[in-house]
Structure 1
């Protein structure tokens, strides 16, 4: 039960940190005009592809983290209901 809470928080934080890091790199790569600057075409294509894949991974981590937190809340509610049912039978 606690494992799903820890995993949920960990994956949520990792996903948000990855999105922040990618967006920060993209921000600092821009010129005052607003255009991104790369040293070559190959680096442009490669970096944009890696960032796109990284964002999808970040989205997956965030969704998995939220699902883990949801599972934790469901397990906690079920555990509380079982405890109340046992106490009411006594």
Structure 2
């Protein structure tokens, strides 16, 4: 039960951190006119591809983290229901 909470928090923070890091790099690559600056065409293509892949990974981490937190909340509610049922039998 606690494992899903810890995993959920770790994956959620990792996903949000990855998104922040990618967007920060993209922001600081921009020049005064708003255009992104790359040293070559090849580096532009590779960096944009890696960033797009990284954003999808970040989305997957965020979704997995949220699902783990949801599972934790469901498990907690189920444990409380069982506890109330046991107390009502006594």
Partners of 2:25 and 2:82 in 1: CA distance? 49
What TM-score do the two structures reach when normalised by structure 1?
1.00
Post-superposition CA distance 1:22-44 (Å, at most 9, x none)? 00000000001000000000000
Partner of 2:33: 33
Alpha-carbon distance in 1 for matches of 2:62, 2:34 = 29
Q: In the alignment, which residue of structure 2 is the partner of 1:86?
A: 86
After TM superposition, the score normalised by the length of structure 2 is: 1.00
Q: 1:10: how far off?
A: 0.2
Tell me what 1:75 maps to. 75
* Number of residues of Structure 1 aligned to a counterpart in Structure 2: 90
Aligned alpha-carbon RMSD (Å): 0.2
Counterpart position of 2:45:
45
